[in-house]
Amino acid sequence: MKSRSKKILNIFKTIMVAMIVILAIMLVGVRLFGLRVFAVLSGSMESEYPVGSLIYVKKVDYKELKVGGRITHLLAENTVVTHRIIEVLVDEEDPNTIGYFIQGDANGIPDAKSVHYKNIIGMPVFTIPYMGYVSNYIQNPPGMYVAISAGAILVMLAFLPDLFADDKKKQPARGKKNLLAILETKPQCSRYTPYIL
């Protein structure tokens, strides 16, 4: 019975560790490949990026962006927006200064202001539906506390059985004498004296 529960616990631990590793790669590890991750919180691009999706954005040269492409840009200090380019504006005096008029696919009108090229974060390359909900949840309380608690419980599950197993190995079983301890002890007095013949 104990070995069966131990196997179930090991399977549970393995699944939990795998889920945490996959989630960490999806949210943080992709930065090693030059991608940034954002959660979709509004329905302005609903046809392509449903609310609750996670979008992966790669840095792109702003001069390569064309009408019909999608961009992710910084709208305000903490606000990031992904919309489609509907017009490219090139400054007549400085051709390196470019602005973009954008519009969400589900919006009836274009955004009020153009986007300056310095505010462009990049271009979305792929999306994972519903993972934005998970990302948003674990980045804010109380989800952050749940994630930290789950990690702590997983660490305890990983190490506690090993600690108790070591204690059991060190203690001899009750009622049985340790053979080595019996052989090493010297008798205090002997009732029989060996004779040499």
**In the chain, % of residues over pLDDT 70:** 80
Mean pLDDT of 83-87: 97
- What is the pLDDT averaged over residues 50-63? 95
**What does the pLDDT read at residue 193?**
52
Out of 70-79, 113-122, 154-163, 169-178, least confident range: 169-178
Q: State the burial class of residue 96 (Cβ atoms within 10 Å of its Cβ: 0-12, 13-18, 19+).
A: exposed
Position 81 scores a pLDDT of: 96
Give the model's pLDDT for residue 191.
55
Mean pLDDT for the stretch of residues 128-139: 92
C-alpha 175/C-alpha 62 separation (Å) is 79
Q: What pLDDT is attached to residue 6?
A: 80
Please, which pLDDT band fits residue 52 given cuts at 50, 70 and 90?
very high
Do 97 and 115 meet the contact criterion of CB atoms below 8 Å apart? no
Is pLDDT above 60 for 54? yes
pLDDT tens column, 120-132: 999 999 999 999 9
What residue ranges do the domains of the chain occupy?
Answer: 34-140
Give kind and range of the element (H or E) at residue 27: helix 2-27
* Three-point CA angle 21, 26, 31, nearest 5°: 110
Q: Which of 102, 110, 96 is nearest to 62 (CA)?
A: 96
Whether CATH 2.10.109.10 fits 34-140: yes
Q: What is the pLDDT of residue 68?
A: 96
187 secondary structure, DSSP code = P
